[in-house]
Structure 1
Amino acid sequence: MPANDASRSPGRPRGGDSACRGRLLEAAMEAFARSGYDGASLRAIALAADCDVSMVAHYFGSKAELWRAMVDELAQRHQADRAEIARSLAEPGVALEARVRRGAGLLFDRIARQAPLARLLMREAAETGERATYVLTQLMQPNLELYRPLWEEAMDAGILGRSDVVVAHTALVGAIALVISMRVSIARLSGREMEVATLRDEFLDVLLRHGPQGASPAR
């Protein structure tokens, strides 16, 4: 009998511990991002979390509530460092182009650390209905509003091309997610190792060198 089963009393569900809920949320994020809502299996999520499937009902009640709790958890994580990021993006005495590079770099690093999140956003954003609306209001809209002042300032200064801020921000997030997902292929095509930090710096160089050249006159 495995050591972690030895102390379990008869009938006690596997994973009936205080950390099970958190593991279920992490496993759910990966499963929903990889397979979508309909394709994600509660049994597979529970197995990945080392919890009995009955723990899903115990903690969340249903698949729909597990999905919602996962989005809420992601929103709380983002809210935790929102004020610090806002200060960093508007830091006095730092040149605007440096703040734009910093902001795009922070976005890149966050998406790189949470690759399932990027896949989840891209998958759900393409859908319609209640789940898409919930992702929009809980995750996408707050992130957009955090970066909006910086992008608008950069467009006014000609550092970024003039466009709709929503389109620009969404395109940036999508481009980052795509580049990160293709890191192995990029390394093979370039013939050199491509660590995340190197990939980020190359991406930022392209973003900021292209921006002023492609900028439209301010409207």
Structure 2
Amino acid sequence: MARIDEPAGCVRKRPRGRPTRDRPDGRQGLLRAATYAFAAHGFDGADIRSITLAADVSPNLVRVHFGSKAELWEACLDAIVAAAQPTMAEVAALAADPGQPLYDRLRAVIGRVAAFYAAHPDVRDFVSRQGSETPERAALLTERLLRPAYETTRALFAAGIAAGIVRSSHPALFFALVNNAVSQPPAFPTLLNRLAPEIDLAEARARMTETVIASLLHPTHNSVRAPATPAPKTRPNRCPAS
């Protein structure tokens, strides 16, 4: 199967015989190829023939597994939502953890969102493309993905604003800013390394996340847990000399 990060039109010859372990089944291959196509070219620009070629399957499998191009698009959205569910659960738990200072929770949430985008590079382009196309698809995208993701962070971001750690007038604005800042494209490490060769490719994303956190969060005196003060050493009681 052609990888989704390969250039458009790059199609490998289909090997004969039964699928090997490293080749996904037809449905999963279609979902991967279609998600990339919808992200890169939009709904109208993505055509079924190119998707099935990239997935290395027969075109009739779209009808077999999904029924239509519109249903294939909706299945891609469902797959993205399913992939995002573990991260949203982690973010919700972090946001509500009373045992951590507010600044630490905000920092951890931004880091977790950045890790999600690093693992799912097509999500940013899929969201930005489909969110600006037809109102029907934008509404589905909002209700199934964006609104649930926002709701996991809304109260935390509002608390950050109230505490002066987050300098924004509304948690939704900060939510959009964070997601845009940490969802760098797959080529980001290489491009950054060309600008600054001293930044190692393997460290590029981690260093960008730290930069985003340092730029967007402004800890106050009471927002960071103070280091524990060791108990003073006491000298053992001694009996007075007789």
Task: Please confirm whether the aligned pair reaches a TM-score higher than 0.5, indicating the same fold.
Answer: yes
Distance 1:65 1:3 in 2: 26
Change (3 A) 1:160 1:169: same
In the superposition, the TM-score normalised over structure 2's length comes to: 0.75
| Structure 1 counterpart of 2:16 | 5
Return the offset for 1:189.
2.5
| Structure 2 counterpart of 1:13 | none
SS across alignment from 1:160? coil
Distance 1:133 1:148 in 2: 19
What are the superposed Cα offsets for residues 40-77 of structure 1, whole Å, 9 maximum, x if unpaired? 12112112222111101110111111000110111122
Change (3 A) 1:198 1:119: same
CA RMSD of superposed structures (Å): 2.5
| Structure 1 counterpart of 2:212 | 203
Which residue identity does 1:113 align to in structure 2? A
| Structure 2 counterpart of 1:110 | 116
What are the superposed Cα offsets for residues 162-200 of structure 1, whole Å, 9 maximum, x if unpaired? 312222211221222257764433333233224322222
Conserved 8 A contact 1:119-1:177? no
Pairing of 1:1-219 with structure 2 (within 5 A): 4-6=15-17, 19-178=25-184, 182-192=188-198, 193-194=200-201, 195-209=204-218
User: What is the total number of aligned residue pairs between the two structures?
Assistant: 202
Identity across aligned pairs (percent)? 31
Distance 1:147 1:51 in 2: 40
Return the offset for 1:142.
0.6
Q: Tell me, which stretches of 5 or more residues in structure 1 are unaligned? A: 9-16, 213-219
Answer with 1 or 2: which has the greater Rg: 2
Return the offset for 1:152.
0.6
Which residue identity does 1:32 align to in structure 2? F
What are the superposed Cα offsets for residues 80-117 of structure 1, whole Å, 9 maximum, x if unpaired? 45333311222222111111010111111111211110
What are the superposed Cα offsets for residues 10-32 of structure 1, whole Å, 9 maximum, x if unpaired? xxxxxxx9821111111111111
| Structure 1 counterpart of 2:234 | none
Q: Tell me, which stretches of 5 or more residues in structure 2 are unaligned? A: 1-12, 221-242
| Structure 2 counterpart of 1:12 | none
Distance 2:74 2:154 in 1: 26
